[in-house]
Amino acid sequence: MNGNIMNFNSHSWVFLGSGTALFLLSGCSGEADPPPNILLCIADDVSYPHMGRELDWINTPGFNMVADEGLLFLNAYTPNAKSAPSRSCILTGRNSWQLEEAANHFCYFPSKFKTYPEVLEEHGYYVGYTGKGWLPGNPGTKNGKPRELVGREWNQIRTQPPTRFISSIDYSANFEAFYNDKPSGKPFCFWYGGHEPHRKYEYGSSIKIGKSTDDIDTVPEFLPDVAEVRTDLLDYALEIEYFDHHLQEILAFLEEKDDLENTVVIVTADNGMPFPRAKSDEYEYSNHLPLAIMWEKGIRKAGRIINDYISFIDLAPTFLDVAGINWSESGMHQTPGKSLRPLFSGRKQKSPFNEFVLIGKERHDVGRPDDLGYPIRGIICNGWLYLKNYRTDLWPAGNPQTGYPTVGGSPSKTWILQNRKTPGMEHFWRWSFGKRPEEELYFIEDDPWCLFNLAASPEYDSLRQTIRGKMEDELRRQGDPRMFGKGDVFQQYIFSDERWRNGYEKIVIQKQKLVFPWINASDIDPGFKE
What is the residue range of 467's domain? 358-523
Which residues 6+ apart lie within 8 Å of 446 measured at CB?
452
Query: Taking the chain (530 residues) in consecutive chunks of 10 residues, what is each chunk's mean pLDDT?
Result: 40 32 39 87 98 90 97 98 98 98 96 98 98 96 94 98 97 98 97 98 96 96 98 98 98 98 98 98 98 97 97 98 97 98 91 96 94 97 98 97 97 97 96 98 98 98 98 98 97 92 95 94 89
pLDDT at 31: 58
In a domain, 459, yes or no: yes
In a domain, 146, yes or no: yes
Closest CA to 85 of 109, 56, 111: 109
Tell me the three state secondary structure of residue 229.
helix
Q: Are residues 248 and 296 in the same domain?
A: yes
In a domain, 61, yes or no: yes
Q: Are residues 338 and 197 in the same domain?
A: yes
Give the CATH number for residue 137: 3.40.720.10
Q: Are residues 152 and 298 in the same domain?
A: yes
Go through the chain and tell me how many residues it has. Answer: 530
**Strand partners of residue 114:** none
Give the DSSP H or E segment for 146: strand 145-146
Cα–Cα distance between 444 and 448 in angstroms, integer? 5
Q: At residue 439, what are phi and psi to the nearest 5 degrees?
A: -125, 145
pLDDT at 349: 84
Cα–Cα distance between 410 and 470 in angstroms, integer? 37
Cα–Cα distance between 530 and 528 in angstroms, integer? 7
pLDDT at 230: 98
Residue at a domain's end among 319, 346, 373: 346
Residue at a domain's end among 323, 346, 369: 346
Cα–Cα distance between 34 and 298 in angstroms, integer? 12
Q: Are residues 278 and 382 in the same domain?
A: no
The neighbour count for residue 384, using CB atoms within 10 Å, is: 19
Q: Are residues 330 and 414 in the same domain?
A: no
In a domain, 388, yes or no: yes
Q: Are residues 428 and 382 in the same domain?
A: yes
Q: Are residues 408 and 327 in the same domain?
A: no
Q: Are strands 288-294 and 71-77 parallel, antiparallel or unpaired?
A: antiparallel
Tell me the three state secondary structure of residue 387.
strand
In a domain, 262, yes or no: yes
Q: What is the mean pLDDT of the chain?
A: 93
pLDDT at 314: 98
> Is-contact 386 468, C-beta < 8 A?
yes
- Rounded to 10 degrees, what is the CA torsion of 500, 503, 506, 511? 120
In a domain, 379, yes or no: yes
Cα–Cα distance between 156 and 40 in angstroms, integer? 20
Q: 231-245 burial, b if ≥16 CB within 10 A, otherwise e?
A: bbbbbbbbbbbbbbb
Q: Are residues 340 and 363 in the same domain?
A: no
pLDDT tens string 161-192: 999 999 999 999 999 999 999 999 999 999 99
Q: At residue 261, what are phi and psi to the nearest 5 degrees?
A: -55, -40
pLDDT at 32: 67
Q: At residue 360, what are phi and psi to the nearest 5 degrees?
A: 165, 175
Q: 185-218 burial, b if ≥16 CB within 10 A, otherwise e?
A: eebbbbbbbbbbbbbbbbbebbbeeebebebbee
Q: Are residues 507 and 375 in the same domain?
A: yes
Q: Are residues 397 and 324 in the same domain?
A: no
Which residues 6+ apart lie within 8 Å of 509 measured at CB?
none
> Is-contact 116 312, C-beta < 8 A?
no
In a domain, 351, yes or no: no
pLDDT tens string 250-294: 999 999 999 999 999 999 999 999 999 999 999 999 999 999 999
Q: How many domains does the chain have?
A: 2
pLDDT at 385: 98
Q: Are residues 405 and 282 in the same domain?
A: no
In a domain, 20, yes or no: no
Q: Are residues 371 and 324 in the same domain?
A: no
Residue at a domain's end among 292, 320, 346: 346
